[in-house]
Amino acid sequence: VSRSGEFDWISQYLAPLAGPNSFALTDDAALLEVPKNQNIVVTQDAIAEGVHFLTDDRLDWVARKALRVNISDIVAKGGRPYAYSMALGVPDQWRDTDMQLFCQGLAEDQRIYDMTLTGGDTYRSPGGLTIAITMFGGVSNNRYKSRHGASAGDILIVSGCIGEAALGLQVATGALKCAEADQRQLLQAYHLPDPPLALAECVAKHATASMDISDGLMGDCRKLCTASSVAAVVDRNAIPLSAPAKRIIEQDEALWKAVLAGGDDYQVLATVAPADVDAFISLACEHDLVATQIGFIDGAESGAVALDIDGVRVSIDAESYSHF
């Protein structure tokens, strides 16, 4: 096992990931491309060992997770990611093979999502691996969707399935046991979120407000409602669950809590005017994505979210799962 110096790591493993305006990472900075007729969306999320991922997690998946938690933010605003900058805090015990595996993960997702690395920084991080990604996306002019545009009557729509990652974390820590195939699927959802890239177009065209679901569906819904000064009703029966999640919930209703408040979904929660709901869902469908109506905005009370359980509305003191 060997460990090269910082500049060798940059030239060998990181430079091949760089975009055309980044001088093969031999300069102090880079030029940031401005996509034609688009606004630039910028976001920055960091993940740290022991806080957002576990020490034994596969390093290529950790790299991809670091990218994907940012991709979901860009997509939720109606944008398509095209570039990112990375500050990489490297633990003292890393060797060349660790750096190589980590960068393989970055390369894999750069292909899938069509992005390049603008630059960044590597530094010693004795406290453990830390990855801070700043990501850039292009969104059609004036189509950026904030959390602030929801109004009474809008329909609540989520992408994908909810709760798999939160259940997967319980599998990872040993708190939850189930059939092996189900465990594998849930673990993968936790380790490797799958943000719905093509949904960006639906959001840009049809959403009134939108956000990514990273801290738990109910808490994030409340944040959207607070930002828009509206209230919402979520129909629990309508929340899209994967087959493993369904089976687990049937066995133990208490696990609804993980699904509703657990976090790490990295799907999109959008509000859409009733007239545009069909267009939103069909466009998602054309891109092989599932978008599901889970409730509506009722406008009654600022920031409040109620959960409809089999026809009974329960006021939820939605606790946001915080990584802090």
Q: Which one, 247 or 323, has the nearer CB to its own copies?
A: 323
Widest Cα–Cα separation across the chain: 63
Q: Which one, 16 or 128, has the nearer CB to its own copies?
A: 128
Residues in 130-169 at the binding interface with its own copies, rule: CB under 8 A: 130, 132, 134, 136-137, 144, 146-148
Is 76 among the residues that bind its own copies (CB under 8 A)? yes
Q: Which of 15, 48, 101, 198 binds its own copies (CB under 8 A)?
A: 48
Residues 159, 270: Cα–Cα separation, whole Å: 9
Q: What is the DSSP string of 97-135?
A: HHHHHHHHHHHHHHHHHT-EEEEEEEEE-TT--EEEEEE
From residue 90 to residue 109, what is the string marking binding to its own copies with x (rule CB under 8 A)?
x-------------------
Residues in 18-47 at the binding interface with its own copies, rule: CB under 8 A: 23, 26-32, 34, 39-47
Q: Which one, 28 or 310, has the nearer CB to its own copies?
A: 28
Q: Which of 15, 16, 128, 277 binds its own copies (CB under 8 A)?
A: 128
Residues 318, 303: Cα–Cα separation, whole Å: 10
Q: How far is the CB of 250 from its own copies (least distance, A)?
A: 33
Report which residue type is found at 260: L
Is 273 among the residues that bind its own copies (CB under 8 A)? no
Q: How far is the CB of 27 from its own copies (least distance, A)?
A: 5
Q: Which of 100, 116, 122, 151 binds its own copies (CB under 8 A)?
A: 122
Token representation of residue 255 = 């696990």
Q: What is the DSSP string of 151-179?
A: -TTPEEEEES-SSHHHHHHHHHTTS----
Q: Which 3 state secondary structure label does DSSP give 25?
A: helix
Give the closest residue to 45 by CA, choosing from 258, 212, 176, 293. Answer: 212
Q: Which stretch binds its own copies (CB under 8 A): 1-9, 169-177, 196-204, 276-284?
A: 1-9
In three-state form (DSSP H/G/I as H, E/B as E, the rest C), the secondary structure along 231-260 is CEEEEHHHCCCCHHHHHHHHHCHHHHHHHH
Q: Which of 20, 95, 112, 127 binds its own copies (CB under 8 A)?
A: 127
Residues in 177-236 at the binding interface with its own copies, rule: CB under 8 A: 211-212, 223, 227
Q: How far is the CB of 51 from its own copies (least distance, A)?
A: 5
Per-residue buried b or exposed e for 143-182, using 16+ beta carbons within 10 Å of the residue's own CB: bbbbbebbeeebbbbbbbbbbbbbbbbbbbeeebebeeeb
Tell me if 225 sits within 8 A of 307, measured CB to CB.
no
Token representation of residue 109 = 């997702």
Q: Which one, 219 or 244, has the nearer CB to its own copies?
A: 219
Question: How many binding residues for its own copies (CB under 8 A)?
Answer: 63
Residues 123, 133: Cα–Cα separation, whole Å: 14
Is 117 among the residues that bind its own copies (CB under 8 A)? no
Residues that bind its own copies (CB under 8 A): 5-7, 23, 26-32, 34, 39-48, 50-52, 73-74, 76-77, 79, 85-87, 89-90, 118-128, 130, 132, 134, 136-137, 144, 146-148, 211-212, 223, 227, 320, 322-324
